[in-house]
Structure 1
């Protein structure tokens, strides 16, 4: 009898926990440090960051998105949704016309102010580091009341990354790497999302950690560091040899330059989201030919 009562109690506890998980209103803290209270699970989302769009769709909630930013283009289904501008040029009227019950925004761009004045709740997210992938996915799980889906997605991403990382770990080569985002030049430091991918692909980033996540550097630094491999995510391959001193860089002399300037490749490498393992695979192939 005691055993039966124990099982009944356990079942009730599980049911109560499930009810608790679905309870609204729910107050969460966004990445601007604001307390945001959600009256119910959002059903009409406008999403202003491509990585968030991809994550929500990977959690099986693409159907809740009614509008996206200019750059959201994956999965294919989101290309049929209304585009409402970008980080610094959002179309406020277009967003309001979609009657969202929540707009997911970047911590940059200050979109929260006009939307809050219009009575539309916003939740700001900062997704820039590798660790932000899991953290943000869990937050989205709380926002959308899809916690189990979020945990399954995190486990899937981690398994995919581990499989690619293990492949890279089997190689002896540890090339020094310079990663160029644009010809200014801006690059990626070791602590950035891209920097972590370089390390997981068994490359050695030539950029000093103290310069920051995405520093603008002097081209002379690259000449001085003389990397084995150069990765480009902009269409400037033909101009590299024309830069003073760059014709003598090992990567330029040996042709170990990986051109990932296509939109598809750049998206995989620049978005901290569910396709991170595919971006990592690009770097592994670049560094080790695998």
Structure 2
């Protein structure tokens, strides 16, 4: 009797610690648009419309289920051979439908889900923007795919990799002030965005005020006022920075502390997915050259 009681208690504890892991198909999940999506079975023909989603699906060992991806998905290597169906704001609905997907994973931005709904194709919307969203979205995709255990292993792996890099960064003596520019408009990153958290983990101090939001467009005068010690660019415009009014006197420009990450390096930084620790490593090397391997 006592043994049966402890076995029951153990089973209940597991259920509490891992909600949804034992939920069979069909299952109903809530996506990041707040919609209740019922999946009759684990999807086998998937179109992914975000590079970070493509990478996460593949990291869950489900790359073989992808039948199409957005124009920017290029990792891992095997997805380069998949049909491309447009970008975030210019998806090709006709091309997507031609692939006969049983699920399309979309961004919350844009209205692709409406066209898919009219065509009778299921969609699931995600919004990975904060650091915690990386793990939340990984677990959510694990439930969508019926790969909950794999998702938990992936979350643990990413967290281990980030911790290892963060531990190295902790050896740095200084915490330089940092301005991170996505494009020359200029758009930047707030402290609570996933990139903003990476800046903190790399022992940098983001000059952008928290109240401006996750990915704000700012006034160029703010950068002059804050006078950052380091500038990070994810576009090839470093030569133009001193030409901006007042910027020639910014410490990062005077001291040539500008790090430019484009192409695959930009992908590591700009995608909230399984390779986030590699993006963090880039920032650590930028902020603290003495820690570069």
Q: Is the 8 A contact 1:22 1:145 kept in 2?
A: no
Cα shift at 1:6: 7.7
Cα shift at 1:3: 8.2
**2:111 matched to which residue of 1?**
110
Q: Is the 8 A contact 2:248 2:254 kept in 1?
A: yes
Instruction: Please give the alpha-carbon distance, in whole angstroms, between the structure 1 residues aligned to 2:82 and 2:23.
Output: 28
Aligned residues: 287
Q: Is the 8 A contact 1:105 1:124 kept in 2?
A: yes
Instruction: Please give the alpha-carbon distance, in whole angstroms, between the structure 2 residues aligned to 1:12 and 1:33.
Output: 30
**2:266 matched to which residue of 1?**
266
Normalised by the length of structure 1, the TM-score is 0.94
Distance 1:120 1:3, change over 3 A: same
- Superposed, which structure 2 residues align to 1:205-220 within 5 Å? 205-220=206-221
**2:277 matched to which residue of 1?**
277
Q: Is there any run of 5+ residues in structure 2 with no aligned partner, and where?
A: none
**Deviation readout 1:71-109 (Å, 9 max, x if unpaired):** 111000000000011111111111111110110000011
Q: Which contiguous aligned blocks of 4+ residues in structure 1 show a shift greater than 3 angstroms?
A: 2-13
**Deviation readout 1:183-227 (Å, 9 max, x if unpaired):** 111111111111111000000011111111111111111111111
Q: Is the 8 A contact 1:188 1:214 kept in 2?
A: yes
Cα shift at 1:21: 2.3
- Superposed, which structure 2 residues align to 1:37-48 within 5 Å? 37-48=38-49
Instruction: Please give the alpha-carbon distance, in whole angstroms, between the structure 1 residues aligned to 2:208 and 2:88.
Output: 27
Instruction: Please give the alpha-carbon distance, in whole angstroms, between the structure 2 residues aligned to 1:23 and 1:257.
Output: 51
Cα shift at 1:176: 0.3
Distance 1:60 1:72, change over 3 A: same
**1:124 matched to which residue of 2?**
125
Distance 1:96 1:152, change over 3 A: same
- Corresponding residue SS for 2:129: coil
